[in-house]
Structure 1
Amino acid sequence: MARRKRIPYDPPHKHKRRRRRSEFMRADQIFLSRRMMIAKAGVVAAFGALATRLGVMQLRQGDAYRAQAQENTIRQVSVPAPRGLILDREGRRLAENRRAWEVRVTKSELPEEGTDERRRVIATLISALSLEDVLAIRPSAVPRGSQETVLSRVATMMGYTDEQRFSAMSSWMDQINSRASYIRVTQLSIDGSARFRAASPELPGVMVMNELEYLIESVWAPARPVTVKQDVPRDVALQLRANAMYLPGVEVDDTAMARVYTGGEVMSHIIGYVQPIDAAALYDPRNMSPARNRIYDQNDVIGQAGLEDSLEDYLRGVKGSLFEEVDVNGVRTRIIPNTEREPEPGDNVTLTIDLEFQRAIGMALEKGIERAVEKKREENAERAALGLSEWKIPNSGAVVAYDPRNGDVLGMVSYPYYDNQLFVSGLSGRKWAEYQNPDKGKAFVNRAVSELYPPGSTFKLFLAASALSRGTLTTDQTYNCRGAIRVPYTFNIAEGTNYACWVAWQGGTPHEVTDVYGAITESCDVFFYNTAVEYIEPEGGLGPVYYWDYNLNQGRIVSDEKHVFDGLGIDALAEDMQTKFWFGRRTGIELPEVAGLMPDPAWKRETFADGQSWVVGDTINVSIGQGDLTCTPLQLALNTGAMGMGGRYFRPHLVSQRVDADENVTAIGAEKIGDFEIDPVHVDVVRESMRRVCHTSQEVPDQSKWPLTNPPDEEDPIIIGGKTGTAEYGVPDDGYENEELNTYARDTHAWFTCYAPWDEPEIAVSVVLEAGGDGLAVSLPVADEVLRAYFELTGRRERGRVLFREKLPI
């Protein structure tokens, strides 16, 4: 039986129903298709444009872009010139250069301003480098018309004196008128920062900012690095370098050259220091080349004080340059051959100063100040018992040693010193405030040339010489000192002004009858009152101006005799002091100096608003080196040396020679600048009187006054000519209940000036101790130690009493 054929089962769910394509497309399908076509066309167009642009760049502009790419990788770099060395007269290095770590910042490579990343980088540097706050002025933020008011307030808050205020405000105004975006006023201590921040709402344009922030904001070329700190400790520098990838814009360089001051603090006022250049110096026309190009970059250092400043043109050298290739990270890959121009080192400068002698002078001055402190404390105890206020405790002074034969400055010390190395390694705000503090001696002031003092009785030497030369004084002339004089008022002769001799207000015995030799030796004030005040007949027919002898202790006139003045006169005196002698004018030394003042009637009329007239009392004050008469220790040493030399003046100088990079030597020789042209007979009168101040005999030295220069065991006497000076200053005493006991005495500066040897001068020395008291008691011993050191140095005295037995190594 045939089998039936099975019909296979075909389940319906396995069949896919095919939809029949519609002959028409829906609207949404048409829209999607168009979008795809537009997108594809856009892509094709973009690639076409890109291909076209690439073709143009490669085929038509290829050379230009290759040059631009090369320019981006090859850059010109200036190569700093080694700064010239400063040497003492024996060749010892006082200022040199050494390799050091330096941290720089490039503003354009820092993270974007206002970001956390930038704040982190700034904070890291401030912490690592111990950067402190500075006081700055933003000129554009100071309202026009209120600049003087704002600057005056800043100067007041800084505690400046009138002289400092004038100088600072002039400097700030100059910088405001320049293109400087910020002006750095000073570094601030923590307390100073707080004070100025609190006052900032009242001081528009004045701000407290960190030193790093100031540097970043004040750069004139953001793409160029600016030095943040020099002479960075090695461990700090290495730590920063190890984190370089986290400090964008920060560069750590171990090939920088830092200035090193090896002479010590005793040389600080002479040498000065260097600092990074500020905006005022950067844009100063004097710091431009003849082609009006800048000599300096924002990363350079420049001399800021002392010889570093005044000899900047010689010390800085001439920069070199090269072209270098750098990678994308700014790291040098190679120096382009034949593009290097070597820098020219600055001149090496040799001074007239011997470091060994300079240090000996410093030690002598410090010991002198210590002696003055002891005496002043004893004196203040006595004053306290009398109910009088205390006088100032001494903390400062100056010594100048000068060779009158050629003008060499052998030594120049101003105390207190400052550490000029701190301006390289970093000066804290606390230290800056200490150096500026008047109560601690104003360490930045070079008292030898920049501080003025009344010369006191040392001035009598030059008054005597002037009066002798003009014939108003002779060696036979005498005056009687009864302790004081009374000059009656022209409008009421029953009253008058008392002028005491120093012996009266010290309770001593009057000098009585004395001539010019005795007057200089004993420093009689009454004698020099008569020497200076001219014959005057005031209007009104009352006769010539005269005085009575007066007893200060008894408070009465002690003689009916009228003594008519018939001396030199202020006009002749002022003329001689400013033409024959060297008062009231600068010496021309290489350091910034002040001229001092020789007052006269014209000066007084011009100085005082109400046109005050010159009176007899003014001449009396000047006659004893008081009143408005002022000079510097250098001027006094110069005049003293000229007296010893018979009238010849040589310009004082600190530099003996300069040697350039090619070893060409420029010697600085003696420069005669004047002669006071006084008859040698009259000069000898003064010189003999100076000898009597120091010695009672021409052959035998006074060993009690000169225990170091002329000790008993020395057979070779060194005769010295000199003069003491005790110059009053400050507020006069009037504390006694009994008016007649009031001498109106004031605190005093202690002077001594001298030259030696007396017959053939080699050295002139001037010493001043501020508020030191008696010149004979405290300043003469300083001069004795200085002279001993000098004669040990020259071999006339055996080494060991002042100098070490072994010479200071070179």
Structure 2
Amino acid sequence: MARRKRMIYDPPGSRKRRRGSASHGSGEIFLSRRMFIAKAGVVAVFSGLAARLGVLQLVRGEEYKTQAADNVIRSELLPAPRGMILDRQGRPLARNRRAWEVRVVKGDLPLDAVEQRRVLDMLISALQLEDVVAIRPKGVPRGSRDTVLQRVVDMMGYRDQALIDREVQRWLREWPNKLVQVANVSLDDAARFRAASAELPGVVVMNEIDFLVENIWDKRLPIAVKTDVPREVALKLEANSMYMPGVYVDDTALAREYPAGEVMSHVLGYVRTIDGASLDDLRNRDVNNERIYDQNDRIGMEGLEQALESQLRGVKGTRSIEVDANGVVMRTVPSSEIPAQEGQSVRLTIDLELQNAVGNALRKGIERAAAGKEEVNRERAAENKEAWTVPNSGSAVAYDPRTGEVLAMVSYPYYDNQLFVTGISERKWSEYMAPEKGKAFLNRAVNELYPPGSTFKIFLAASALHHGTVQTSDTHVCRGAIRVPNEANLSQGLPMACWVGWQGGEHDALDLYGAIEQSCDTYFYNVAVSRTEMVYTPESVFYYDWNLLSEQVVSDTRHVFDGLGIEPLAEDMQNRFWFGKATEIEILGEATGLFPDPAWKEENIGDGDGWAVGDTLNVSIGQGETKVTPLQLTMNTAALANGGSFPKPHLVHEWIDAEGNARPVEVEEMGKLDIDSDHIEIVVEGMRRVVHVETGTANRTRISDGVFETKWPLTNPEAEEEILIAGKTGTAEFGQIDDIGARDSHGWFTCFAPLAAPEIAVSVVIEAGGEGSTYAVPVVDEILRAWFEINGTRQRGTVLSQGVMGQTGEASPTPDATPGATPAASPVPATPVAD
């Protein structure tokens, strides 16, 4: 078949232009049907795009313009610097420091699950994030919540009931959240919880970053994963930011710093990231009912950080920022910024130098008491008796009786509040929580209650003098113990010992001064019990003298009680003195204490027997249900020092605003003792004899037969003018009675000085510390020496360093200042020589 020849097409006029030119040949342009179709398709596509663009711009232009503006202009909160906490000399106790912080924005994390897991695992590795045990409330079967929580408590190893109650309450407050964090756990504990998962419905183990991401309520909000990240780690994360979408590194974060060390831990508390319950708490709303916190905020927990939260936190600022599609800040919108208001700073009444000295003295006193108790336990073991508690804790409070300012407040053992800034480990948390380690989180100065023991006798004496039921000349004979006959059978009865009776001793005849000086229990039994004290026989209440060792009545002589009686005594302690009610110091959760009376017993014990003579006998020597905090005891002792007033105990000396303007806290008087000054002076004279008369329980230590040393080698060394001290020892029994009627005991001493013009009142308790005269007194000796070195009455260098502590707090107490006699010297612990 012959090939058809193609027709050459020349557009009109082209031949004329090409006249004389060469032929087109293969360069000719050809048209085909396929080219027409292609061009038509292109035209159709662009027409559609043009139409769509028209709709976007003309029909919905305003809508998208508004959306675009919302996307690029964002409102940003500006954090407010937290106020500083200073000691009374201006030394920093809590301050802010710039730190590296790693944050996660959930909305910016990869959507792909595998890719998101890769990013989070990189963070876990870089920041060494721990696992946490958490509860997913929706996963807990209905009706099983309490059972599951109890199993969690058991597996965490919590044994202290106060700790259990606090933790369970926290979990329940956070129950509305997606997840409730129980605690950070070690790898071993994480494995235990995973193995027990079948018995713990709703309980999960996950890394803390997974907990944070899952619990985030606003996916656009940056959540702090870790603060105070090491610089090299932060820079590595920043260098790899393109591989870790949603992870941001900030070098402008503020980390809380506690430069004063652990000795201030209970006073200051700490800050930590806010929990869900606090975030939703209606009390944490502003006047517009808006949250004042977000998930990234840190709030004060415990101590003054918690109590002064509203003043310290400041007020956040705001600004508008322009961001690109990737969330990168391009600029701050002009005139949009409202600056944050820095929190108020606070200067405390506490002197850090004295606080360090008090802590050092208390620690050494506890160590001495522990050594003494171990010796006692070796003797008890040889007699097949149960061991008594070895001391590991205690408290000391120093207080200005003129103003109510707390000069020092120590609870031992301490904890490291700085760990809550960087993240506390599960191991350390468990150690702090363990009762055998002393329950370090407990602020014993204001949150723990103890029987006051014989320190209570000075307040009983003041009350009885006020009511006229005792005179200074009233004499009672102590034979070491008494026995109050049973009203149903006079041949039987309740033996009540005087402390000296346990060694077969007796005080013989004593007046009121001598009874305070030698802390005679028998005398104060007579001061407290009335002749009609809750008895159901026509006879007056009486007792026989009793020998503890022979368990025989010394004589048939009946000694009739003729003392104050429980009703007026309880009325005075509850309403005249400051027992059984809070001191209202700034720290939250203060224990109120207790002074029992018949109505209280009926309501709380209700054994049907009612108040008995034995109850009043116990109360008279600070035993039974009587409970006080160290701060309460100090406050009441101070009322004797200042003539009968109760200035409100406080820790805040003055507030300081951002401009440096100071606003002092005014002294607030809470009440008057309303006891005649002559009666107070009688009690104070007895307290002076406790310290400065040879037979006083806090005067001297027996080293061996006929060899004694002063108990005050630091405060009153030889060749220096004597500083007069008024004090009272106390040995407060607790625990089970052994086969001979003895019990373990706490050691107390409370006092004030100088006698003529009191400027400091001090109370010390050593838990399970035995005799107050043996172990608590040397602690107070060192505390008073430190105070008198600070105020210039004594030369520096014995307890404190030669140089005054600087503004950075670099100087510290001389560790073991022992001029002359060693304060640690004590009699054989098994043979107490004083109350």
**TM-score between both structures, scaled by the size of structure 2:** 0.88
> Secondary structure of 2:714's match?
coil
Tell me what 2:382 maps to. 385
Whole-angstrom CA distance in 2 between matches of 1:440 and 1:232: 30
Are residues 258 and 538 of structure 1, via their aligned partners in 2, closer, same or farther at CA, if it must alter by over 3 Å?
Answer: closer
Q: Residue type matched to 2:164 in 1? A: R
Tell me what 2:464 maps to. 467
- Contact conserved, 1:190 with 1:429, CA < 8 A, in 2? no
Tell me what 1:575 maps to. 571
Are residues 454 and 192 of structure 1, via their aligned partners in 2, closer, same or farther at CA, if it must alter by over 3 Å?
Answer: farther
Tell me what 1:107 maps to. 106
Are residues 198 and 597 of structure 1, via their aligned partners in 2, closer, same or farther at CA, if it must alter by over 3 Å?
Answer: farther
Between 578-587 and 556-565, report the one with greater CA deviation: 556-565
- Contact conserved, 2:100 with 2:252, CA < 8 A, in 1? yes
Q: Residue type matched to 1:249 in 2? A: G
Among 704, 710, 714, the alignment partner of 1:708 is 714
Whole-angstrom CA distance in 2 between matches of 1:161 and 1:758: 42
- Contact conserved, 1:189 with 1:433, CA < 8 A, in 2? no
Tell me what 1:228 maps to. 225
Are residues 47 and 601 of structure 1, via their aligned partners in 2, closer, same or farther at CA, if it must alter by over 3 Å?
Answer: farther
Whole-angstrom CA distance in 2 between matches of 1:614 and 1:46: 101
- Deviation (angstroms), 1:16: 7.2
- Contact conserved, 1:604 with 1:612, CA < 8 A, in 2? no
Asked if 1:407 is matched to 2:404, the reply is yes
Asked if 1:534 is matched to 2:530, the reply is yes
Counting only pairs closer than 5 Å after superposition, residues 78-227 of structure 1 correspond to structure 2 as 78-112=77-111, 115-157=113-155, 158-176=157-175, 179-227=176-224
> Which deviations, in whole Å up to 9, do the C-alpha atoms of 1:22-72 show, x marking residues without a partner?
xxxxxxxxxxxxxx9999999987765543222110223223323322321
Shift >6 Å, 4+ stretches: 36-46
Between 371-380 and 757-766, report the one with greater CA deviation: 371-380
Whole-angstrom CA distance in 2 between matches of 1:195 and 1:644: 57
- Contact conserved, 1:320 with 1:343, CA < 8 A, in 2? yes
Whole-angstrom CA distance in 2 between matches of 1:41 and 1:520: 116
> Which deviations, in whole Å up to 9, do the C-alpha atoms of 1:770-791 show, x marking residues without a partner?
1111111111011011001101
Among 545, 555, 560, the alignment partner of 1:559 is 555
Whole-angstrom CA distance in 1 between matches of 2:519 and 2:662: 48
> Which deviations, in whole Å up to 9, do the C-alpha atoms of 1:62-94 show, x marking residues without a partner?
233233223212211111011111111111111
Tell me what 2:59 maps to. 60
- Deviation (angstroms), 1:564: 2.5
Are residues 515 and 38 of structure 1, via their aligned partners in 2, closer, same or farther at CA, if it must alter by over 3 Å?
Answer: farther
Whole-angstrom CA distance in 2 between matches of 1:659 and 1:756: 32
> Which deviations, in whole Å up to 9, do the C-alpha atoms of 1:473-532 show, x marking residues without a partner?
221222221111122222333322211111122x14111221211111111111112222
Among 722, 725, 728, the alignment partner of 2:733 is 728
> Secondary structure of 1:229's match?
strand
Q: Residue type matched to 1:383 in 2? A: R
Are residues 504 and 208 of structure 1, via their aligned partners in 2, closer, same or farther at CA, if it must alter by over 3 Å?
Answer: farther
- Contact conserved, 1:792 with 1:803, CA < 8 A, in 2? yes
Are residues 657 and 805 of structure 1, via their aligned partners in 2, closer, same or farther at CA, if it must alter by over 3 Å?
Answer: same
Tell me what 2:818 maps to. none
> Secondary structure of 1:308's match?
helix
Between 779-788 and 468-477, report the one with greater CA deviation: 468-477
Asked if 1:648 is matched to 2:645, the reply is yes
Whole-angstrom CA distance in 1 between matches of 2:483 and 2:535: 20
- Deviation (angstroms), 1:543: 2.2
Whole-angstrom CA distance in 1 between matches of 2:179 and 2:757: 57
Are residues 143 and 357 of structure 1, via their aligned partners in 2, closer, same or farther at CA, if it must alter by over 3 Å?
Answer: same
Whole-angstrom CA distance in 1 between matches of 2:537 and 2:765: 46
> Which deviations, in whole Å up to 9, do the C-alpha atoms of 1:432-452 show, x marking residues without a partner?
111111111111111111111
Between 78-87 and 318-327, report the one with greater CA deviation: 318-327
Whole-angstrom CA distance in 2 between matches of 1:301 and 1:454: 38
Tell me what 2:518 maps to. 522
Identity across the alignment (%) = 57
Counting only pairs closer than 5 Å after superposition, residues 411-426 of structure 1 correspond to structure 2 as 411-426=408-423
Whole-angstrom CA distance in 2 between matches of 1:38 and 1:215: 58
Whole-angstrom CA distance in 2 between matches of 1:562 and 1:614: 23
Are residues 292 and 608 of structure 1, via their aligned partners in 2, closer, same or farther at CA, if it must alter by over 3 Å?
Answer: same
Tell me what 2:746 maps to. 749
Whole-angstrom CA distance in 1 between matches of 2:247 and 2:276: 22
Tell me what 2:287 maps to. 290
- Deviation (angstroms), 1:539: 6.8
Whole-angstrom CA distance in 1 between matches of 2:620 and 2:202: 50
Asked if 1:549 is matched to 2:545, the reply is yes
- Deviation (angstroms), 1:358: 0.9
- Contact conserved, 2:535 with 2:612, CA < 8 A, in 1? no
Q: Residue type matched to 1:707 in 2? A: P
- Contact conserved, 2:533 with 2:612, CA < 8 A, in 1? no
> Which deviations, in whole Å up to 9, do the C-alpha atoms of 1:171-213 show, x marking residues without a partner?
433333xx43322233334444344444443333333332222
Q: Residue type matched to 1:108 in 2? A: G
Among 601, 605, 614, the alignment partner of 1:604 is 601
> Secondary structure of 1:657's match?
strand
- Deviation (angstroms), 1:538: 6.3
Are residues 609 and 183 of structure 1, via their aligned partners in 2, closer, same or farther at CA, if it must alter by over 3 Å?
Answer: farther
Are residues 71 and 359 of structure 1, via their aligned partners in 2, closer, same or farther at CA, if it must alter by over 3 Å?
Answer: same
Whole-angstrom CA distance in 1 between matches of 2:132 and 2:399: 40
- Deviation (angstroms), 1:170: 3.5
Between 119-128 and 226-235, report the one with greater CA deviation: 119-128
Whole-angstrom CA distance in 2 between matches of 1:143 and 1:568: 60
- Contact conserved, 1:490 with 1:542, CA < 8 A, in 2? no
Among 294, 299, 303, the alignment partner of 2:300 is 303
Whole-angstrom CA distance in 2 between matches of 1:795 and 1:440: 38
Asked if 1:431 is matched to 2:428, the reply is yes
- Deviation (angstroms), 1:240: 1.3
Tell me what 1:3 maps to. none
> Which deviations, in whole Å up to 9, do the C-alpha atoms of 1:650-673 show, x marking residues without a partner?
011111111122444321121111
Among 333, 336, 340, the alignment partner of 1:336 is 333
Whole-angstrom CA distance in 2 between matches of 1:641 and 1:440: 32
- Contact conserved, 1:152 with 1:165, CA < 8 A, in 2? no
- Contact conserved, 1:648 with 1:676, CA < 8 A, in 2? yes
Q: Residue type matched to 1:213 in 2? A: D
> Secondary structure of 2:228's match?
strand
- Deviation (angstroms), 1:604: 1.7
> Which deviations, in whole Å up to 9, do the C-alpha atoms of 1:114-171 show, x marking residues without a partner?
x222222222222222222333333333334443343344445442433333344334
> Secondary structure of 1:232's match?
coil
> Which deviations, in whole Å up to 9, do the C-alpha atoms of 1:440-465 show, x marking residues without a partner?
11111111111111111101111111
- Contact conserved, 2:533 with 2:613, CA < 8 A, in 1? no
> Secondary structure of 1:449's match?
helix
Tell me what 1:718 maps to. 723
Between 526-535 and 772-781, report the one with greater CA deviation: 526-535
- Contact conserved, 1:188 with 1:433, CA < 8 A, in 2? no
- Contact conserved, 2:533 with 2:565, CA < 8 A, in 1? no
- Contact conserved, 1:467 with 1:531, CA < 8 A, in 2? yes
Tell me what 1:357 maps to. 354
Tell me what 2:823 maps to. none
Are residues 786 and 144 of structure 1, via their aligned partners in 2, closer, same or farther at CA, if it must alter by over 3 Å?
Answer: same
> Secondary structure of 2:68's match?
helix
- Contact conserved, 1:483 with 1:500, CA < 8 A, in 2? yes
**TM-score between both structures, scaled by the size of structure 1:** 0.90
| Alignment size in residue pairs | 766
